[in-house]
Amino acid sequence: MNKTIIVSNRLPVDLKYIDDELVVKSSTGGLATGMKSVHSEGNGIWVGWSGLADEEMDENQKNAVDTALAKEKCVAVPLNNDDIENYYYGFSNTALWPLFHYFQAYTEFELTHWDSYVEVNQKFADVVLQQVNDGDTVWVHDYQLLLLPEMLRAKNPTLTIGFFLHIPYPSYELFRTCPWRDELLQGMLGADLIGFHTYDYARHFISCVSRIKGIEINFNEISYANRIIKVDSFPMGIDYDRYHNAALEHDQSSEESKTDLMKSIDFHNKSNDGSKLILSIDRMDYTKGIPNRIKSFEYFLNKYPEYKEKVRLVMLAVPSRENVAQYQLLKRETDELVGRINGDLSTISWTPIWYFYRSLPFGELIDLYVSSDVAMVTPVRDGMNLVAKEYVATRTKGDGVLILSEMAGAAKEMLEALIVNPNNFDQIADSIKEALEMPADEQKTRLDALQKRISRYDVERWASEFLKALKVAKDIVPVQVAQKLDAATIGKFATHYKKEGKKLFLLDYDGTLAGFKNNPSDAIPTQELYDLLDKINENKDTEIAIISGRDRETLERWFGHKPYTLVTDHGAWLRKVGGEWGMLDQMKKSWKENIRPVIESFTDSTPGSLIEEKEYSLAWHYRKVDPHMAALRTMELKHVLKSLLTNNALSVLDGNKVLEVKNSNVNKGRAATRIVSETEYDFIFSIGDDWTDEFMFEELPDSAYTVKVGNVKTVANYYIKDSSEVLDLLRSVTGV
């Protein structure tokens, strides 16, 4: 039976050696609870770092760790201190974390960090590959392991691979600053499904793939390396029942049983003086907007002084990544701010900010959530933010107000919260006032709606939706009627070619015999191409026909002196070997005077595009244009042209990064038909890359060998990867 392997930087268990004794604690983090059902199913396992440095343990200790982990169905990836320093604190947390959270000034790109990141991703891959069997599913989590999907696929293509990013995916403008942007995207594209918390993150990722990799994308499907990769958003939820039920239990418990922390800050007596509590919980991380929150609370107290002595901010900051300099600075800044504000504003009976730098066990967290009138969750950037959801889940009495930053992924789903810009102190101050004064029925209406949504789409649902979508994604077969041309089939062509009889090669030029150049006039034939075609042409039974969208003048300049059949202007002109040029259909060109200015104005307003004037057509090339802009402009231009081309005599041809206005009755299919109708060929081979070549493939007799350059939708029977394979293919078929 196939199994599912979960891979994340950290395992769902915390391990510690205390006085030589290994202490194992199950983690209650969001991911761990969410994946519980996936993890416990069948023979599934979880692969990750144990949190301990490999060289700090002797063999016995390592064995003890492995045994303890095995009991939890976990397998450790051994990391040494250098790995932890360079891969975890280094590339993951001083390059990717700040970059992906829009803290560009904090982002450091260090080659040693990158090298370690590659090496450690490979270590993860090696451990996973030891654990998997063919056909298994691997679900990779988060920014520490962006390279892993591709590393796994390279070694075992039978795996179904999902990837989920828990942090924001930045816009192209940020992402492109990373020196290893190609490698990171390549790594992620090894997955079958790539999930994000929000649609915006997914959109940014798709934009990076399209702009950096130049890959064609159809809505949320990326066609790459003969696979379809799905991209979608799956907003992660929490274990709603766990929080909700704990809060219900808390409501029923006696005052004495409340936790020491609560007693120490006199939470439960607050109702006596009518004072209110505002709660703030996060890891001590610069993305969480802690200094801004403190300053906006001070701003609130100064803007609405009637609230002095009536409200307290209880701030829990959990120590995190303390080895990274920016985290140390943030800690210092926070300590100083709290000290200054408390110094300025405290009275004998009132301290405005209660600040705790520590983590709390579950019970005390619940106590905090339940006892607070308002939760302020105001990160400057946050992938999702589970604290916001947990606060809502614990409000069992229908009261409590959530103030939520629009920069948290959670804001996309929690619209009934008071949504704020974390940098707008004035707005935050007003929202605090609104929250403190919100009528009970409004609190309840907002909470009901939030609770309904968060309880339905909980963490288990999130995991199962992702895995369902992953299965569907793996099963998508690229729309592909053509077969990849393999050595055996090429051998068959060659055998056929050697037989007696007339042979015809119909060869498209741009994108087939010649690779694309940014400027079409630079795509001149190489000596290698001339030599090869001449050699093939030495066989007196073989006819070479170059069938191109190029104009007559250009093709004549390049091939006029050769004994080849030439078809130009997408099939408008034909010159048989040794014959004269003839027009296949009577065509007009006077229309160009009206259409040219329209295309010219698009060229002016679309940097990178250019107009190519042919005798009987006008082509607008946009190969160098930014793909998003190109998509927009081609849509507009097609629309404008459609309104101008009112009779059927002209049509717009949507080619490979080119729009071309030409006479409707001309196409390569008609030209090819003319050629094959004049001679009886025993062997026909045709090859092309463009949409215009489809007419040719379509019209040729069934016995013809039709080959598309590029793995895209086609009516051809076969395809090859790209134009770099064309000349070798011709050599193999003809044996020259």
Ligand X SMILES: O=P(O)(O)OC[C@H]1O[C@H](O[C@H]2O[C@H](CO)[C@@H](O)[C@H](O)[C@H]2O)[C@H](O)[C@@H](O)[C@@H]1O
Residues of this chain that bind ligand X (CB under 6 A):
9-10, 30, 142, 166-167, 236, 320-321, 382-386
Contacts of residue 573, defined as CB under 8 A and 6 or more positions apart, other chains included, come to 552, 566, 567, 581, 582, 583, 584
**140-159 footprint of ligand UDP as x/- string (CB under 6 A):** --------------------
Shortest gap between Cβ of 567 and ligand X (angstroms)? 58
Report if residue 317 touches ligand UDP, rule: CB under 6 A: no
CB 416 within 8 A of CB 450: yes
Shortest gap between Cβ of 7 and ligand X (angstroms)? 12
Contacts of residue 718, defined as CB under 8 A and 6 or more positions apart, other chains included, come to 482, 483, 484, 485, 489, 705, 706, 707, 708
Shortest gap between Cβ of 637 and ligand UDP (angstroms)? 45
Shortest gap between Cβ of 495 and ligand X (angstroms)? 57
Tokens of 85: 């320093």
Among residues 30 and 669, whose Cβ is nearest to ligand X? 30
**Whose CA is closest to 190, among 285, 122, 238?**
122
Residue 142 binds which entry of ligand X, ligand UDP, none, with Cβ cut-offs from 5 to 8 Å by kind?
ligand X
**For residue 46, what are the β-bridge partners?**
6, 74
Task: Collapse the DSSP code of 404 into the 3-class scheme (helix H, G, I; strand E, B; otherwise coil) and give the result.
Answer: strand
**Whose CA is closest to 172, among 681, 626, 510, 634?**
626
| Alpha-carbon distance values, 81 to 90, 124, 621 (Å) | 12, 16, 54
Within positions 333 to 392, which residues make up the interface with ligand UDP, using CB under 6 A?
359-360, 365, 384-387, 390
Contacts of residue 389, defined as CB under 8 A and 6 or more positions apart, other chains included, come to 237, 238, 240, 410, 414, 454
DSSP class of 704: S
Residue 366 binds which entry of ligand UDP, ligand X, none, with Cβ cut-offs from 5 to 8 Å by kind?
none
Residue 58: active-site member: no
For every residue of 475-526, DSSP letters joined together read HPPP---SEEP-HHHHHHHHHHHHSSS-EEEEE-TBTTTB---SSGGG-PPP
C-alpha 101/C-alpha 314 separation (Å) is: 25
Shortest gap between Cβ of 654 and ligand X (angstroms)? 41
C-alpha 266/C-alpha 260 separation (Å) is: 10
CB 232 within 8 A of CB 271: no
C-alpha 661/C-alpha 614 separation (Å) is: 10
Shortest gap between Cβ of 409 and ligand X (angstroms)? 6
Report if residue 188 touches ligand UDP, rule: CB under 6 A: no
For every residue of 417-453, DSSP letters joined together read SEEE-TT-HHHHHHHHHHHHH--HHHHHHHHHHHHHH
For every residue of 96-133, DSSP letters joined together read IHHHHTT-GGG----HHHHHHHHHHHHHHHHHHHHH--
**From 142, 508, 689, 693, active-site residue:** 508
Within positions 265 to 304, which residues make up the interface with ligand UDP, using CB under 6 A?
281, 283
Shortest gap between Cβ of 127 and ligand UDP (angstroms)? 24
Report if residue 30 touches ligand UDP, rule: CB under 6 A: yes
Count interface residues toward ligand UDP (CB under 6 A).
13
For every residue of 282-295, DSSP letters joined together read EES-GGG-HHHHHH
Shortest gap between Cβ of 405 and ligand UDP (angstroms)? 12
C-alpha 290/C-alpha 510 separation (Å) is: 58
Contacts of residue 473, defined as CB under 8 A and 6 or more positions apart, other chains included, come to 162, 192, 193, 228, 229, 230
Shortest gap between Cβ of 167 and ligand X (angstroms)? 5
Task: Collapse the DSSP code of 726 into the 3-class scheme (helix H, G, I; strand E, B; otherwise coil) and give the result.
Answer: helix
Other beta carbons within 10 angstroms of residue 26's beta carbon come to 12
Catalytic residues: 508
Q: Which residues bind ligand UDP (CB under 6 A)?
A: 30, 281, 283, 316, 318, 359-360, 365, 384-387, 390
